[in-house]
Amino acid sequence: MDRREFLGWVGVGCLASSLPVAIASCSPQNQTNTSTNSAEFQVVGTLTQLKAEGQLLDKKSSVGRILVIPDPANPDTLLAVNPTCTHEGCTVKWQAEKSKFICPCHEAEFSPKGEALKSPAKEPLTTYMVKVEGDSILAKST
Ligand code: FES
């Protein structure tokens, strides 16, 4: 066997040995959900946490970055936004006394439902659907 034949067989061997791994990694059973925006409701916290802090911020939830607040117009319901400011990406803060999300970087303001109220941000915050089951707060992308 000359050098060219040997390298050809090594190449075929490598391809054959890596094929099962490549197929397995593409099969649906083995795929993990690396998406940060799940289409299904996911637990993002508890009512106990929300009541203790007045808001619930989770920067690594399974649905993505999320900030849950009681709706100022109806405290029995919850609102949830992605707190990433649409101007340059800072994390907005919920100011309950002003009923607004305010960005600490350039002072953009957003309504409780995420609508842009004050520049420099022009686009609304991304919102989530949110529901409560027992003590758990669940959210999913809208
Ligand atoms: S990053 Fe929020 S106003 Fe600029």
Q: Does domain 42-141 have CATH number 2.102.10.10?
A: yes
Name, in order, each residue with C-beta under 8 angstroms of 72's C-beta and a sequence gap of 6 or more: 96, 99, 112
Instruction: Determine if ligand 1 sits within 6 Å of the CB of residue 117.
Output: no
Name, in order, each residue with C-beta under 8 angstroms of 114's C-beta and a sequence gap of 6 or more: 79, 81, 101, 124, 125, 126, 127
Whether the model pTM is above 0.85: no
Instruction: Determine if ligand 1 sits within 6 Å of the CB of residue 116.
Output: no
Predicted confidence at residue 142, as pLDDT, reads: 86
Q: Where are the domains of the chain?
A: 1-31, 42-141
Instruction: Determine if ligand 1 sits within 6 Å of the CB of residue 90.
Output: yes
Over the stretch 10-55, which tens digit does the pLDDT of each residue have? 454 444 444 444 433 333 333 333 344 457 999 999 999 999 999 9
